[in-house]
Structure 1
Amino acid sequence: MVVLGFDATDRVRTVLAGDAEPLGAQALGTAERGLALDGEWEIAVEEYETARAPYSCAGGTFDQVAKAARAEFDTFADAVAPWRGDGTPAAELAAYVLWSATVRPAGFVTRPAVLMSKHWMDKVWSWDHCFNAIALAGGLPELAWDQFRLPFDHQDDAGALPDSVTHSEILYNFVKPPVHGWALRRLPPAPDVYPLLERWTTFWLTARRAPGRELPHYQHGNDSGWDNATTFDPERVVETADLAAFLVLQMRELARLAPDPGRGAHWSGAADRMRDALLAELWTGERFVARGAHSGRTWSTSSLLDLMPIVLGDELPEPVHTALAARIESHLTAYGPATEHPDSEHYQDDGYWRGPIWAPSTVLVEDGLRRAGHTALADEISARFRRLCEQSGFAENFDARTGEGLRDRAYTWTAAAYLILAGAHEQREQRGQRPDPALGPS
Structure 2
Amino acid sequence: MMAHPTDALIGLVTPFLDLVAAPFTLPRSRILVLAHREGGPGVAEPVTAVRVALAEYERPLDECVVFERLAVVGTDGAPLPVTRVLPHRIEFGATGTGGLVTLTFAGPHALSVGAHGDVTAELRLTAADGGQQTIGLGPGHAASVQLRIDAARVVGVARSGAHSDHEYDTAIVWTQWFDRCPRVRDDLQAMTAFCWWVLGANIVELPGQGSARAVVPSKIGYVGLWQWDAYFIAVGLRHGDPELAREQLDLALRYPTADGQLPDVVHDEGVLASSEDLPPHDRETLRRHGSSVADPNVPVPLTKPPLAAWALRRVLESSGPCRTAHPGDPVDRAGSGDRVDPEWVDRAWTTIARSQDWWFAHSDADGDGMPEYGHPYSSGLDDSPIFDGPLPLASPDLGAYLVLQDRELERHFAERGDATEAKRHADRAAATLAGLLEMWDATAGHFVAHAGAERIRSYAAVSLLPLLTGDLPAGIASTLVAALGDPQQFGTTWTVPTVATSDPDFSAERMWRGPVWVNINALLVDGLRRSGYPGEAVELAERTALLVIHGGGPHEYFNPQTGQKAQTATTSFGWSAALFIDLAAQLSA
TM-score normalised according to structure 1 size: 0.86
Q: How high is the sequence identity, in percent, across the aligned residues?
A: 26
Q: Which residue of 1 aligns with 2:406?
A: 251
Q: Pick the aligned partner of 2:354 from 175, 199, 204.
A: 199
Q: Secondary structure at the match of 2:180?
A: helix
Structure 1 residues without counterparts, runs of 5 or longer: 428-442
Q: Which residue of 2 aligns with 1:394?
A: 554
Larger C-alpha radius of gyration, 1 or 2? 2
Q: Secondary structure at the match of 1:103?
A: strand
Shift of 1:62: 3.9
Q: Secondary structure at the match of 1:150?
A: helix
2:531 counterpart letter in structure 1: A
Following the alignment from structure 2 to structure 1, what is the Cα–Cα distance between the partners of residues 308 and 251? 12
Shift of 1:158: 1.6
Q: Pick the aligned partner of 1:39 from 137, 148, 162.
A: 137
Deviations 1:187-212 (A, max 9, x none): 21634322111111011010011243
1:115 counterpart letter in structure 2: V
Following the alignment from structure 1 to structure 2, what is the Cα–Cα distance between the partners of residues 426 and 42? 45
1:267 counterpart letter in structure 2: H
Matching of residue 342 in structure 1 with residue 508 in structure 2: no
Q: Secondary structure at the match of 1:128?
A: helix
Structure 2 residues without counterparts, runs of 5 or longer: 1-47, 54-62, 67-108, 116-120, 276-301, 318-344
Matching of residue 175 in structure 1 with residue 289 in structure 2: no
Matching of residue 144 in structure 1 with residue 245 in structure 2: yes
The aligned runs of 1:369-388 (5 Å cut-off) are 369-388=528-547
Shift of 1:267: 1.0
Deviations 1:261-282 (A, max 9, x none): 1111111111111111211x21
Q: Pick the aligned partner of 2:200 from 86, 90, 99.
A: 99
The aligned runs of 1:277-316 (5 Å cut-off) are 277-279=435-437, 281-285=438-442, 286-293=445-452, 296-313=453-470, 315-316=471-472
The aligned runs of 1:32-431 (5 Å cut-off) are 32-40=130-138, 42-44=144-146, 47-50=149-152, 61-77=165-181, 81-108=182-209, 111-172=212-273, 173=275, 174-188=302-316, 190-258=345-413, 259=416, 260-279=418-437, 281-285=438-442, 286-293=445-452, 296-313=453-470, 315-330=471-486, 331-392=490-551, 393-406=553-566, 407-427=569-589
Following the alignment from structure 2 to structure 1, what is the Cα–Cα distance between the partners of residues 236 and 126? 46
2:481 counterpart letter in structure 1: A
Shift of 1:14: 6.1
| Distance 1:161-1:60 versus aligned 2 partners, 3 A rule | farther
| Distance 1:118-1:84 versus aligned 2 partners, 3 A rule | farther
| Distance 1:21-1:130 versus aligned 2 partners, 3 A rule | closer
Shift of 1:236: 2.4
Following the alignment from structure 1 to structure 2, what is the Cα–Cα distance between the partners of residues 72 and 57? 25
| Distance 1:71-1:253 versus aligned 2 partners, 3 A rule | same
Following the alignment from structure 2 to structure 1, what is the Cα–Cα distance between the partners of residues 51 and 580? 36
Q: Tell me: higher relative CO, structure 1 or 2? Use CA pairs within 8 A at least 6 residues apart.
A: 1
Q: Is the 2:178–2:197 contact (alpha carbons within 8 Å) kept by the matching residues of 1?
A: no
Following the alignment from structure 1 to structure 2, what is the Cα–Cα distance between the partners of residues 397 and 142? 28
Name the stretch that deviates more: 57-66 or 360-369.
Answer: 57-66
**Aligned residues between the structures:** 415
Shift of 1:341: 1.4
Q: Secondary structure at the match of 2:372?
A: coil
Following the alignment from structure 2 to structure 1, what is the Cα–Cα distance between the partners of residues 168 and 125? 30
Shift of 1:57: 8.0
| Distance 1:51-1:401 versus aligned 2 partners, 3 A rule | closer
| Distance 1:160-1:383 versus aligned 2 partners, 3 A rule | same
Following the alignment from structure 2 to structure 1, what is the Cα–Cα distance between the partners of residues 132 and 501? 47
Name the stretch that deviates more: 6-15 or 211-220.
Answer: 6-15
Q: Secondary structure at the match of 1:337?
A: coil
More helix as a share of residues: 1
Q: Secondary structure at the match of 2:367?
A: coil
Q: Is the 1:109–1:165 contact (alpha carbons within 8 Å) kept by the matching residues of 2?
A: no
Shift of 1:72: 1.7
Shift of 1:404: 1.6
Q: Is the 2:214–2:224 contact (alpha carbons within 8 Å) kept by the matching residues of 1?
A: no
Shift of 1:113: 1.3
